[in-house]
Amino acid sequence: MIWVNAIVEGLLLGGLYALFACGLSLLFGVVGVINLAHGDLAVLGAYVAVAILPSTNTNALWALLFLPVIFAAFGYVSQRTVLQRSLDSGPLTTLLVTFGLSVVIQNALLEGFSADSHSLSVGSLTTSALHVNSTISISYLRLGILVVAIVVLAVVQLFLARTSTGRQIRAVADDGEAAAISGVNTRHVTGIAASIAFATVAVAGLAYGMYSQFTPTSGSSLLLFAFEAVIIGGLGSLWGTLAGGCVIGLAQTIGAQIDPTLGILMGHLVFLAILVVRPNGLIPARANA
């Protein structure tokens, strides 16, 4: 029965990873940026919440009201300045620039907040759980995160599918040049895509902060998990990233059930195994070699 618990936990964790992966997928699919600073941006969001919220006991859910908006603006500006510029220089440059920014963010956070771990309070939500039966209990917080992840994915998906701006975003993702000759202001549209991606990162960072302790260097592992989710789920499909996130989450929780130290390793091994087994290798839609 503990296995059922592990499976449930894994699926819930998948929601969190999907939240991370969503922004990553948007940034790469639309903007063409491989954002190696993605995990650190989420952690940055969590730290911003720590800084802005009046006290450590304030329920961090309040941060959901303002943090995504701040990050959306931050994302738009970043895209139109730094990221666009690095894209113009070539795919190699964006990798290096975002990696460099990752290091700068991590160390700036270390300077600002020290290496101590923090966490975001959600009051009684932290420990309350739904007790299905004597052995299976589902944490309301984690369930909430999964629900939020699904809602965010659904909203982004609807936005992309139904709105004019969403259509323009999809057009740019398909073929930026063709979009331009159709009248789409690609610079502005990629900025919008980036701001959506950054907003999701803010939500993901808050969720992570509520879910677990975090330190300035937590972002690196989050980045890997998010990328693994995107690669497994397939680029271009937001629901695929949810599936991918669940695969990673399940691997981690089942691994941890076998042996507490095995969790993260199992996730990585499953990812590498999938890489090996896929017969043609993985060729994402916008492979930049």
Partner 1 sequence: MTDASPVLVAAGLTVRHGQLTALHEVSIDVTPGEVLAVVGANGAGKSTLLRTLAGLHKPAAGTVTLDGEDITALHTDKRVGKGVVLVPEGRRLFPSMTVEENLQVGTTNRRAGDWDIDRVFELFPWMRDRRRQKTDHLSGGEQQVIAIGRALVANPRVLLLDEISLGLAPVIVQRIYETLPAMLSDGMAVLIVEQDVAQALRVASRFQCLLEGTATLAGKPTDYTSEQVEAAYFGFGSAAAS
Partner 2 sequence: MTSAPVAAAAPSRPTRRIRRSTRVSRWAVLPALVVLVILALLPYILGQGSTSALVNFYILLILGVTWNMLAGYAGLVSVGQQAYIGIGAYAVLFLAQHGWEPFVALPVAAIFCAIAAIPISLIVFRLRGGYFAIATWTVAQVLALLTVRDAALGGGTGTNLPGLDGFDPTVLGAYTYWAALVVAIIALVGCYLLLRSRVGLALTAVRDDDVAARSVGVRVPRAKRAVYLAAAVGAGGAGGLIAISQINVQAGNVYGVQWSAYMIFIVLIGGIGTLEGPILGAIVFFTLQQTLASHGAWYLIIVGSIAVLMALFMQRGLWGLADRFGVRLFPVGYRVSGAPSTPAKDG
How far is 167 from 153, CA to CA, in rounded Å? 16
Sign of the dihedral defined by the CA atoms of residues 266, 269, 273, 275, in that order: positive
Does position 173 bind partner 1 by CB under 8 A? yes
131, interface contact from partner 1, partner 2, none, CB < 5-8 Å by kind: none
Does position 25 bind partner 1 by CB under 8 A? no
103 closest CA partner among 216, 224, 228, 225: 216
Residue among 13, 42, 184, 246 that touches partner 1 (CB under 8 A): 184
Give residues 151-170 in contact with partner 1 (rule: CB under 8 A): 164, 167-168, 170
171, interface contact from partner 1, partner 2, none, CB < 5-8 Å by kind: partner 1
Residue 127 or 213: the one with the smaller Cβ distance to partner 2 is 213
Return the ∠ at Cα 121 (arms to 229 and 6), rounded to 5°: 40
212, interface contact from partner 2, partner 1, none, CB < 5-8 Å by kind: none
User: Are the C-beta atoms of 27 and 223 separated by less than 8 Å?
Assistant: no
| Straight-line distance from the first to the last Cα atom of the chain, in angstroms, rounded to the nearest whole number | 46
Element (H, E) at 139: strand 137-139
Tell me the site size for partner 2, rule CB under 8 A: 46
37 closest CA partner among 64, 60, 71: 71
User: Are the C-beta atoms of 165 and 33 separated by less than 8 Å?
Assistant: no
* Number of residues in the chain: 289
Looking at 16-24, 141-149, 178-186, 200-208, which segment touches partner 1 (CB under 8 A)?
178-186
Q: Which amino acid is at 212?
A: S
In the bound complex, what is the minimum distance in angstroms from residue 115's beta carbon to partner 2?
Answer: 9
In the bound complex, what is the minimum distance in angstroms from residue 275's beta carbon to partner 2?
Answer: 6
Q: Residue 261 contacts by C-beta under 8 Å, 6 or more apart in sequence?
A: none
- The residues that touch partner 2, with contacts defined as CB under 8 A, are 28, 34, 36, 82, 85-86, 89, 91-93, 95-97, 99-101, 103-104, 107-108, 110-111, 220-221, 223-224, 227-228, 231, 261, 264-265, 268-269, 271-272, 275-276, 278, 281-284, 287-289
- The residues that touch partner 1, with contacts defined as CB under 8 A, are 164, 167-168, 170-171, 173-175, 177-187, 236
